[in-house]
Amino acid sequence: MKYVQEFRDAHTAKGLVREIERLSQQLGNTAEHPLKIMEVCGGILILFLIWH
């Protein structure tokens, strides 16, 4: 499976977590107004990009 090894690399995963935390703070993530992150499959993502 492609990219599985990248997700098993603890250093890379921790870097991704830090980046998500940084971006969520920039977007105004608070306890009163938490951000919601949705995972989308490739097909849905392509349709979204085409429609917008």
Coarse DSSP helix, strand, coil percentages of the chain, rounded to the nearest 5 percent: 60, 0, 40
Instruction: Give SS3 for 21.
Output: helix
Q: How confident is the model over 8-50, as pLDDT tens digits?
A: 788 888 888 899 889 988 988 888 988 887 776 667 777 777 8
Name the DSSP letter for residue 15.
Answer: H
Supply the pTM of this predicted model: 0.54
